[in-house]
Structure 1
């Protein structure tokens, strides 16, 4: 690792099981924030989710270790999760320095701690803030992450945020401030098959990271299947204490997903004397396949398989099954696809900005894991592994944070908006097979699921053109949304006269890399202005290509942009006209592409177009 940057002013804060010597050229800073946590600590310790905690920057739960190593972990040969997913582990930006700001504890993340951590990070001199925090869309002036990230962005710090895991519900996307890069989750082409071989000969596909013996054609020991022993709702979900020990002893227990964690159900089955578990997706989970390092032989099956499994159990005189572990398989599955749980747009508070911005790997991600905790994350798990698997937009965000670090290293003078633009306009809209990216919700992924598309790091470093935004432009944008003086002050900590701002910026539209139009109050047309900066080759020209959303007319003027020099800017106007919404739909999508012409290069600068009709 290179030396600590001279401009770095951060500290390594000591505490429980963590001292100053734990910092080095990789981990150059570490702090922890607990005032909000302490103010909200449960009065009865039994109410706490977990009492395992370190009063220091040290991570006791794995989430911070996992995300930090995903963004910037050094290369580690021979990494695996108890043998699964073996290979070299490496963060997206392995040469980047890392500073850790611990703001979350077992009872949550509190606004005062989040803001204190973000403010310190900016003062310390970070270039990128990676926030795998937040869950629900709330007004920007009440959103601590939006407030803290505005201050960070205004000081040149790129802020990358998780979109949230409340998909596929419409308008569930969180961290929707237009100054942050909002990341949804996508799948990989890596699978961990663990089939269920039923007594009637049927084989159901499942997945697991339990380190079971691989290569047994018939699978493990044949066990009797049981489901909902005791006939209670609690036993269907395998809640702790709800399983009849006499009924499950030595058997394979079927547990419905929901209420408690997936790995917790396996622990409940094991404690009750069960020998194995099949985790069954419910209708709400569909075919989603987030896996775990279970504490007993177990597999997760999709909803279709769960229906067949339960039908077999109810019809067979003595239902039996085996689990057949298939190891790690790469390259056979179609990917990427949008994860079912990944939060969706359109933005609830600001439909005139398309969110999420992009998607990135966020399902069954293997990354570093703390030594105090078993790979299942359960306190009772005595196994130890330097790596474990997690799923969520929390895992997707640090992939993009690493890409941001790489771009900023290659282009240190670029603003946060330029970096975000490069990532968005270079994103892929097709999967590894060259087909349209699919949605875990079924069918083809739309712009509200994947934003501009799936990140492509190699292309993002050389985007050709970028859309830049100055911090003051975000304030003007807030004025166009009708935010009051006090609401804007809460976000920016500056006094703003919106009447004067709007008079000075007539016809203003935020120079965002994607194009979103929200028609309301009977409006049928909108004119947007965009400006691009040439960061590619001089003496180059770009020609526009437009695929208008169904039922919408889109025109662009001019249709050609010419650049004599590097850094030169050119503006264009986009007119969107829609006489009425398409039948039975409240949204439509298309795209606008600036394609480099001639022999100067092959840059393709793509912007999705999203049109929504807002009912108020």
Structure 2
């Protein structure tokens, strides 16, 4: 392209942008209205012709307002054609008023929100059990999709896995009746059923490194709780009465609540530490593929070293590639090593990598200092008298002789002097592991009555409610919220009281990126943006193992918790797996890449205050290195308009362009002949995001292809990338049928003023008058 043509394409007409803006506003004005027409005349036992006639009468009525039957069909989302006569449609206020004036219309009113009292994360994502046209309804609640969970096993007696109301096991299940779970004492019931259709354990890798496990542990039963929590989040039933210490009261459920689930246990614990070995993990993925599952959820990862060969030497990456070849989506957690850059794990392009962010619910306790200053923290459990003050002591002031300052600061076992701690509230610093609550155990052992848990630099301002063994309230990193420490350091006899923990809903802003969530840029494959997406991963309440302690500590004697609150990308991963299950049900012929694209390109970068998503670590704006494409919106993902599809051959050519040996690549696709194409580059993989590392000053071309999965229409591109010249060619794409593909190029050139190594973020949007907005993040930097 010569300079004159380039300059023409860089000039986006103001009128076009203004028109596009008006169309977006116009679309956003539509709301769901119900038109009630009374009773039907066809009686109580209508024939199929009666139902069809009633539905078409609704089309005709609304067409008289909208101008055509086609527009009416597009607007109507429900036709009540059996006993209640009426319909629900997406309309503008004026259209609803005109409809209400029709002689045969009884009333027209906005569809109101009927609140179900729930564990919240799915409601925060816009899903409602009795809602209208949400992803649950569109995806038929994931019915008969099979979700595999590779984790610590399952507690099969949980109501999340009850077979009540579940039909026969789908014929596509090839796992037989294998259920490697020991029966509970005194029970003759087989633990697996029509909901939990299979359970296996894999422990040879663990035993090779740690010695033989006792025979009683040779079971897929979950003694830790993590696997039950993640599996129920992905595909658990609706279970009312969920709560932890009286908090979070509501209904527990999974993303695909009518899906079938299978547990593959690969993680084991002989002490307080849980270990998962790659040999077990890869065997489990191989078995899950053989069993005929549709989705695999893997909330584990590893980063021993940063090597260019890691995507073909990592068990999750290898397993995910073969899952993809069998039309299975593998979803994996991004890791909990944030907020440091280049900590993201599970980075292969064929893995669906999930970051963690907050929801609009908080579990809180108010701390009142001796000077009557009050501060809010996160807490699940406070049983101290709410108006009684207790002496306050810093853990480092209560350390035993010969104990290091660093160990005492994080309240490691055996660091606190009981003579100094007894009867007091201790200030500890989080030890860096988001799943650890060992600090509280040490304080309790030393005689403390409570703990104020200050975040470390990793957790920043993400305050987490955790199931500690004594009254505990978590607070932000003292560098960002120093008040309690300042009070302690300036007061001779400091005291504190804690209010009872309570649940607050509708908090703003949300989502906020969790400080612990691992960040990009991708250290292994720089041309692929990771993580891909973010989902709820903070203070998530879900089912738990009755054999596990509330805190995951061996020394914690509190057992019998059917639910628990956990945090981490381990929790956000099954949220995406559950949404994938809905898409697999709704679009059974879509490829894994198409499903991934639908979720990514419909994600939001705004919170519930309509402002850009923020980072909890330092309260600045978050970037795609934290959230990928943005925060998942399952309702919109069900109907994305366009998708970026990728085939196995595309991935193989990507490996070729990455410098992998062709013989090695051929081995990945041994059933089909393959030869590396010399025309491919890593930047041209048809990924839903665009990442351009180490750019020079010369313009480069990026090629992408979109597939139409919506109605025929014309899409217009809008693109921006601060510090770079950028243009899309062609600027419009017209689709005449479903399945039609169109290719385009994005031409990018760095401006001279941009600093070397300076990361810049932008976006590409394809929109057809605001009905569909297909968004891709763009990341670029100069070498």
| Pair in the same fold by TM > 0.5 | yes
Does structure 1 retain, via aligned residues, the 8 Å contact 2:382–2:472? no
Larger C-alpha radius of gyration, 1 or 2? 2
User: Given the alignment of the two structures, is residue 158 of structure 1 paired with residue 324 of structure 2, yes or no?
Assistant: no
Which residue, out of 139, 149, 154, partners 2:320?
A: 149
1:177-203 Cα shifts (integer Å, max 9, x gaps):
101111100111111111211111211
2:482 aligns to what SS in structure 1?
helix
Residue segments in structure 2 that go unaligned for 5+ positions in a row: 1-165
Does structure 1 retain, via aligned residues, the 8 Å contact 2:640–2:774? yes
For residue 226 of structure 1, what is the aligned residue in structure 2?
A: 393
Does structure 2 retain, via aligned residues, the 8 Å contact 1:243–1:269? yes
Structure-2 separation of matches of 1:401 and 1:167 = 22
Which residue, out of 9, 16, 19, partners 2:174?
A: 9
Does structure 2 retain, via aligned residues, the 8 Å contact 1:52–1:60? no
Does structure 1 retain, via aligned residues, the 8 Å contact 2:547–2:559? no
Does structure 2 retain, via aligned residues, the 8 Å contact 1:80–1:87? yes
Matches within 5 A, 1:501-580: 501-503=676-678, 505=680, 509-519=684-694, 522=696, 524-538=698-712, 540-547=713-720, 549-580=721-752
Deviation at 1:585, TM superposition (A): 4.7
Deviation at 1:2, TM superposition (A): 2.7
Does structure 2 retain, via aligned residues, the 8 Å contact 1:141–1:488? no
1:508-546 Cα shifts (integer Å, max 9, x gaps):
8111111111225x46332111111111012x1111111
For residue 37 of structure 1, what is the aligned residue in structure 2?
A: 206
Does structure 2 retain, via aligned residues, the 8 Å contact 1:84–1:211? no
User: Given the alignment of the two structures, is residue 370 of structure 1 paired with residue 545 of structure 2, yes or no?
Assistant: yes
For residue 111 of structure 1, what is the aligned residue in structure 2?
A: 278
Report the CA distance shift for 1:505/1:194 in structure 2 as closer, same or farther (over 3 A). closer
Deviation at 1:381, TM superposition (A): 2.9
Structure-2 separation of matches of 1:507 and 1:326 = 51
Structure-2 separation of matches of 1:276 and 1:512 = 50
Which residue, out of 253, 258, 262, partners 2:426?
A: 253
Structure-1 separation of matches of 2:300 and 2:777 = 26
Matches within 5 A, 1:189-268: 189-212=360-383, 219-227=386-394, 228=396, 229-230=398-399, 232-233=404-405, 234-258=407-431, 262-268=436-442
User: Given the alignment of the two structures, is residue 85 of structure 1 paired with residue 282 of structure 2, yes or no?
Assistant: no
Structure-2 separation of matches of 1:146 and 1:249 = 50
1:209-260 Cα shifts (integer Å, max 9, x gaps):
01547xx8xx242111111213642322222221111111111111111167
Report the CA distance shift for 1:524/1:167 in structure 2 as closer, same or farther (over 3 A). farther
Relative to structure 2, which stretch is displaced further, 486-495 or 147-156?
486-495
User: Given the alignment of the two structures, is residue 418 of structure 1 paired with residue 594 of structure 2, yes or no?
Assistant: yes
Matches within 5 A, 1:434-453: 434-442=610-618, 443-453=620-630
User: Given the alignment of the two structures, is residue 605 of structure 1 paired with residue 774 of structure 2, yes or no?
Assistant: yes
1:92-131 Cα shifts (integer Å, max 9, x gaps):
1101100111111125111111111001100100000111
Structure-2 separation of matches of 1:491 and 1:199 = 66
1:312 aligns to what SS in structure 2?
helix
Deviation at 1:172, TM superposition (A): 1.1
Relative to structure 2, which stretch is displaced further, 570-579 or 112-121?
570-579
1:278-297 Cα shifts (integer Å, max 9, x gaps):
11123443212122112111
Report the CA distance shift for 1:104/1:343 in structure 2 as closer, same or farther (over 3 A). same
Q: Kindly tell me the number of residue pairs found equivalent between the two proteins.
A: 596
TM-score, structure 2 normalization:
0.73
Report the CA distance shift for 1:587/1:504 in structure 2 as closer, same or farther (over 3 A). closer
Deviation at 1:583, TM superposition (A): 3.0
1:399 aligns to what SS in structure 2?
helix
For residue 48 of structure 1, what is the aligned residue in structure 2?
A: none
Matches within 5 A, 1:47-62: 54-62=217-225
1:179 aligns to what SS in structure 2?
coil
Matches within 5 A, 1:329-348: 329-348=504-523
User: Given the alignment of the two structures, is residue 399 of structure 1 paired with residue 399 of structure 2, yes or no?
Assistant: no
2:534 aligns to what SS in structure 1?
strand
Does structure 1 retain, via aligned residues, the 8 Å contact 2:703–2:745? yes
Residue segments in structure 1 that go unaligned for 5+ positions in a row: 46-50
Does structure 1 retain, via aligned residues, the 8 Å contact 2:399–2:408? yes
For residue 258 of structure 2, what is the aligned residue in structure 1?
A: 95
Report the CA distance shift for 1:201/1:470 in structure 2 as closer, same or farther (over 3 A). same
User: Given the alignment of the two structures, is residue 361 of structure 1 paired with residue 530 of structure 2, yes or no?
Assistant: no
1:265-313 Cα shifts (integer Å, max 9, x gaps):
1111111111111111234432121221121111111123763322322
Report the CA distance shift for 1:516/1:496 in structure 2 as closer, same or farther (over 3 A). farther
1:242 aligns to what SS in structure 2?
coil
What is the aligned-residue RMSD (CA, Å)?
2.4
Deviation at 1:612, TM superposition (A): 2.7
Structure-2 separation of matches of 1:52 and 1:271 = 32
Deviation at 1:4, TM superposition (A): 0.8
For residue 54 of structure 2, what is the aligned residue in structure 1?
A: none
Structure-2 separation of matches of 1:530 and 1:369 = 44
Structure-1 separation of matches of 2:449 and 2:664 = 57
